[in-house]
Amino acid sequence: MLTLWGLPLTAADASAADSPFHFGFKKSRNGQPASIDQEGFKDILARHGAVFTGDKNEKVLYLTFDNGYENGYTPPILDVLKEKKVPAAFFVTGHYVNDQQELLKRMVREGHIIGNHSWSHPDMTQVPDGKIREELARVKQRVAEITGQREMKYLRPPRGIFSDRTLGVSKAEGYTNVFWSIAYMDWDTKKQKGADYAYRSVTAQLHPGAVILLHSVSRDNAEALGRIIDEARRQGYEFKSLDDLKIGS
């Protein structure tokens, strides 16, 4: 018998539970909160304790990076974060874990969080529960072996693709799925548009409680990061760790 969370399911129920969603949101403008009200998955995120923003009444920002591979820009990003005293979370894949062990050690040494981005970056909705658990366990174990970070609480679903089932499986493994409420198309290294473009794209979307997603492969992000931080602070924002984000807010 098919089950979900211990309850019996029909085949139709099971199919609905694994209907894939691609995370998207209505961007913030003029400091107003970003929104997922029209995306069709708000209730699913809430049910599994997934987050895409923090408290909309607090001028706090949460800075996160996705690290699938290294393009030479994570060291200068870490330099800026150290200089500005800003905490961040880096979501890493198996490739990154194997290839950039010294950078992982530096992240932990300088007080940042390493989160899980899966071992091989699959579409989680296309793999069985056991494979999801394996993907997550391999990253957690190797990061612990390399850095000593024993706890791994945060997951960013690969490609931003998820379903009711995948959120449930990862939650059962102890993860909070962290999406985002500020982002722009920064991951294509062949379509970089300059630091000014990155600066404008991010600062135009600033809003209370925002979770900022940046890709560390972007030259534009590395070059604009210091200015982004300075402008956010000029507007009265404070940067905090994901550990300070109130789940369910």
Catalytic residues: 66, 215
Q: Which residue type is seen at 181?
A: S
Q: How many Å apart are CA 134 and CA 13, to the nearest integer?
A: 25
Q: How many Å apart are CA 183 and CA 214, to the nearest integer?
A: 7
Smallest Cα–Cα separation from 24: which of 35, 11, 13? 35
**Collapsing DSSP states into helix, strand and coil, what is residue 233?**
helix
Q: Give Cα 2 distance to the centre of its chain.
A: 31
CB-based contact 165:177 (threshold 8 Å): no
CB-based contact 214:228 (threshold 8 Å): no
Task: For strands 7-8 and 3-4, give the pairing.
Answer: antiparallel
The DSSP bridge partners found for residue 213 are 64
In 53-206, beta strands by DSSP E: 60-67, 88-92, 113-116, 154-155, 161-162, 176-177
Q: How many Å apart are CA 27 and CA 56, to the nearest integer?
A: 14
